A and B are shown apart, each in its own frame.
Chain A
Amino acid sequence: MEFKSEYYTSWEDYVKENEIDTENEDVIKANTQPYEEMVFDFTMWLVM
């Protein structure tokens, strides 16, 4: 049951939409995706 939204970019979507240096994908993901998750968490806090 995967969460999807026009306004949420998963890491898989991010990779498709951006040119990612595959050799360094782990460190790019670790320093990019948490901010998407932070927006998601804050959004949920606002509606709970």
Chain B
Amino acid sequence: MLEQTKETHQLFVDIDEGRIPKRVPVHTWLDISYVIQYAGMDMRRANWDVENFKNLFDLSAKTFKSDINAVDITRFIPVYNILGAVNFVMGSSGQIQHPEVKGMEADEYEELIADPYKFIHDKLLPRLYKKLDTNPAQRAMVFSKAMKAHSDIFGHIIAHQDSLAEKYGIAYERVGCQTVAPFDLIADQFRGFREMSKDIRRYPDQVVRACEAVLPMLIKAGIKPHSSRQKRTFMPLHMAPYLRLSDFEKFYWPTFKKLIEALWAAGAVPLLFVEQDWTRFLDYLNELPAGTQMMFEYGDPKVIKEKVGKKHIISGLYPLTLLSKGTKQECIDKAKELVDILAPGGNYIFSFDKIALNLNDANPENIIAVNEFVREYAVY
């Protein structure tokens, strides 16, 4: 399988290095909850069963015809349970949910700006993780226990991912670490989207200074010793589509652009998940260093190809909803339509517009049919 692994991996390397590959590579993203349901397991148990994760990776690699590991797992319920998390909780079905939370008050901007990392430990974490809201000795014990659990689970997953590629002839893992845009960090678990929308009117200068203050921390988070074009820094982009253009230019774009440029300068190459519709901001995205991968959720594929597809690597845009309700032929026809628009000239990795969370998000047979079609049809 090693030869097959090299061949599949080369498809991605060619794109990363500006060459046209033998064919369009297929990168499918499935949350582990999707694979758990596909396997017929109970999510309330399977989310705890770390030892079983490797079986789910194997099942996915054997089944879904992705050229690279399809299973995405970033939320570890044992760690959240140890911490008493309120930001990530298991629902009654076993699905891990992310309720809107607010870990920071409006009058705490100056404290955040003075030392973001200290603020996180002193104020934010005890609010998001209730078992850290205790005396220093117990807090240290809970934090240690949770970090050990995180390290063990993460190590277990990484070790299996590395062996997965050679076992099934797929490419090596493409994501090496994660960071987020400064504005998104503060808007998500610090202030919450609702409060942040008010803050940009009430405290605009502090919001700008807070984005600048967290920037060095987020640059550091996105650079690892293994960072490269093939081990990318994943960044889900959240808040920009909900902003007016003038607010985007003032609050979001300046520190986001600095972050991307700093990552590139350090050899850490971004893979952006461009959530929602960024059509208004395509010219801005085109200012980023060439070769940034952008996985788009919505937008006109022709416009995206024309405006950013010559400079950057495009993926996404295939509607997951069609895989849920469409016939096999409708799904294949859509794949052909997208490949015909996005593949010419290279710079294209086939993927869906979002990550499938639940089995009813996408019919597994449609995923397999579409991926098999692209692998056969999208040959250069």
Contact = CB atoms under 8 A, between A and B. Distances in A.
Interface residues of B, number: 32
B262 interface: yes
B303 interface: no
Given A38-B151, A45-B150, A47-B185, A5 B116 contact: yes
A8 interface: yes
B124 interface: yes
B147 A7 contact: no
B120 A43 contact: yes
Interface string A22-39: 000000000000000011
Interface of B: 83, 103, 115-118, 120-121, 124-125, 128-129, 146-147, 150-151, 177-180, 185, 188-190, 215-217, 219-221, 258, 262
A2 B146 CA distance: 28
Contacts of A47: 103, 120, 124-125, 128, 185, 189-190
Contacts of A3: 117, 216-217, 219-220
A1 B125 CA distance: 25
B108 to A, nearest CB: 15
Given A3-B216, A6-B115, A47-B189, A42 B150 contact: yes
A5 B180 CA distance: 19
18 contacts: A1-B215, A3-B217, A3-B219, A5-B118, A7-B115, A7-B121, A8-B117, A39-B147, A41-B177, A42-B151, A43-B117, A43-B120, A46-B125, A47-B103, A47-B185, A47-B190, A48-B185, A48-B188
Interface residues of A, number: 19
A6 B179 CA distance: 21
A7 B271 CA distance: 30
Contacts of B178: 48
A5 B147 contact: no
Given A8-B117, A38-B147, A46 B128 contact: yes
A45 B151 CA distance: 11
B116, B120, B262: which has the most chain A beta carbons within 10 Å?
B120
A43 B122 CA distance: 12
A16 interface: no
A33 B130 CA distance: 29
Nearest to A8: B117
B129 A46 contact: yes
B132 to A, nearest CB: 9
Contacts of A8: 117
Nearest to A41: B221
A48 B92 CA distance: 23
Nearest to A5: B117
A17 B102 CA distance: 36
